Structure 1
Amino acid sequence: MNIFFQRFIKLLIGIFLFALGIVMTMKANLGFAPWEVFHWGIGKTIGMSIGNVSIFISLFICVIVVLMGEKLGLGTILNMILIGVFIDILLFFNFIPQMNGLVSGVVQMIAGLFTIAYGSYFYIDSGFGAGPRDSLMIVMRRKTKLPVGLCRGILEIFVVLIGWKLGGPIGIGTVIAAFGISFCIQIVFSLMRFEATSVKHETLDVTQKNFKALYFKKEG
């Protein structure tokens, strides 16, 4: 299989895993993870689904990271759109069972965080541009030189405070997610021997040129 399409499949797998991990943490029934507290709070305030709120917040973040010098790519755009779509689809079909106990909830919460971490690895490593939230994490890493996990943790705590003020559902799972996501990302990236800032992401223009070159090569 052509390297371009291998990378594209890795991108889609990463996006789906990220959405799946988010729904897993929601269905743990211990309080939403920080970004979902934030999205739910906004959605509750303006009357919008959590998936659609995720898309609009991602668009806003994209504007911020571009202003801070981060490049956007095909992966950034697809992440912005598809994660919200996948979340709404998974919630609609009730694919993930809701936990009713503390132990089962904690297990599912942690499993969801690791699923998110692996999703982050797959779509960042595809090189099509990090997702909006991961682009923000990478910008923080480059600007502050802090560990990538710590940067993610700071972002998680910040958004959960805003989401809580807007009425988003919080609980022990929120605390686990806020502090656990940084460790999960650090563990997964270390296991995969992956340094997020070392990836050279393609801009949309470069991806378009590579795709055209591949297409015309096949035609020839």
Structure 2
Amino acid sequence: MTRRVLQLLIGLPLYGFGCGLMIDAGLGVDPWTVFAEGLALRTGIGVGWITNIVGLLVLLLWIPLRQRPGIGTLLNVLLVGTAIQATVTVIPPVHGLVLQVLLLLAGVVVVAVASGLYIGARFGPGPRDGLMTGMHARLGWPIWVARLVVEVTVLITGWLLGGTVGIGTVVFALGIGPLVHVALPLFDTARTRGPGRIPAARAETA
């Protein structure tokens, strides 16, 4: 239990830190952060605080889907956006393509490691992943269809609002799955529970 709690409390802020690095790179971010950036531009509220607010609103959508949040889900809403806000406040945007690419790649890798940590702790999915699994359970949609519909919708909406879409968005989309696939077995706490352990968790992002 101590290991699981530590993984959760390290993994969630680390996830936000990785997202913050991607924002500072300025080459494009993941769909949900594009959405948060767009809302931040329109409201004047920091992108990290918007991330927390969006996470809370998404969590409310769990109610009609009859999903039950875990402690990890609730902490996700509180910590990820706060870490994003702290990162973009402390670390200024970088300039120059080489530095931007390096910061982007560092951000994607950090997000992957952080995903392995908090998912492997098994305290519940993030609000966005729970939305997609809830749609699968209640509507019968395949998870990949639910993810595609939701993420394309928030990506387009965020882009129209002024969020950053670019090569970083593509790099994240193509790279995060394989990287989490590598990171998750390293931190999956179920792998150390003996013959009766449950299978390794499906790779998810916040």
Same fold (TM over 0.5): yes
Which residue number in structure 2 is paired with residue 81 of structure 1?
Answer: 78
Which residue number in structure 1 is paired with residue 52 of structure 2?
Answer: 55
Instruction: Report percent identity of matched pairs.
Output: 34
Q: Is 2:174 aligned against 1:173?
A: no
CA distance in 2: counterparts of 1:99 and 1:27, whole angstroms: 6
Which residue number in structure 1 is paired with residue 100 of structure 2?
Answer: 105
- Please give the per-residue CA displacement for 1:88-109, whole angstroms capped at 9, x wherever unaligned: 1122222xx6443334433332
TM-score by length of 2: 0.77
Task: Report if aligned partners of 1:120, 1:134 keep a CA contact under 8 Å in 2.
Answer: no
- CA drift at 1:137: 4.5
Which residue number in structure 1 is paired with residue 12 of structure 2?
Answer: 15
- Please give the per-residue CA displacement for 1:33-84, whole angstroms capped at 9, x wherever unaligned: 3222110111211221111111111011112234323221211111101111
Bigger Cα displacement from structure 2, 50-59 vs 101-110: 101-110
Which residue number in structure 1 is paired with residue 179 of structure 2?
Answer: 184
Q: CA RMSD in A?
A: 2.9
The amino acid across from 2:60 in the alignment is V
Which residue number in structure 1 is paired with residue 195 of structure 2?
Answer: none
Among 65, 74, 78, the alignment partner of 2:62 is 65
Task: Report if aligned partners of 2:113, 2:183 keep a CA contact under 8 Å in 1.
Answer: yes
- CA drift at 1:168: 1.2
- CA drift at 1:153: 6.2
Which residue number in structure 1 is paired with residue 125 of structure 2?
Answer: 130
Which residue number in structure 2 is paired with residue 32 of structure 1?
Answer: 29
The amino acid across from 1:196 in the alignment is A
- CA drift at 1:138: 4.1
| Structure 2 CA distance for partners of 1:22 and 1:127, relative to 1, 3 Å | same
CA distance in 2: counterparts of 1:106 and 1:154, whole angstroms: 28
CA distance in 2: counterparts of 1:152 and 1:77, whole angstroms: 21
Bigger Cα displacement from structure 2, 122-131 vs 14-23: 122-131
Which residue number in structure 2 is paired with residue 210 of structure 1?
Answer: none
Q: For 1:196, what is the secondary structure of its paired residue?
A: coil
TM-score by length of 1: 0.73
- Please give the per-residue CA displacement for 1:114-170, whole angstroms capped at 9, x wherever unaligned: 2212222211222222221232344467654556xx875664433211100111122
- Count, aligned residues: 191
Among 147, 153, 157, the alignment partner of 1:158 is 153
Bigger Cα displacement from structure 2, 187-196 vs 37-46: 187-196
| Structure 2 CA distance for partners of 1:107 and 1:49, relative to 1, 3 Å | same
Task: Report if aligned partners of 1:34, 1:160 keep a CA contact under 8 Å in 2.
Answer: yes
- Please give the per-residue CA displacement for 1:144-202, whole angstroms capped at 9, x wherever unaligned: 4556xx8756644332111001111222222222343334334434666773259xxxx
Task: Report if aligned partners of 2:70, 2:124 keep a CA contact under 8 Å in 1.
Answer: yes
- Which of 1 and 2 has greater Rg? 1
CA distance in 1: counterparts of 2:97 and 2:136, whole angstroms: 34
| Unmatched tracts of structure 2, length 5 or more | 189-198
| Unmatched tracts of structure 1, length 5 or more | 199-220
Q: For 1:72, what is the secondary structure of its paired residue?
A: coil
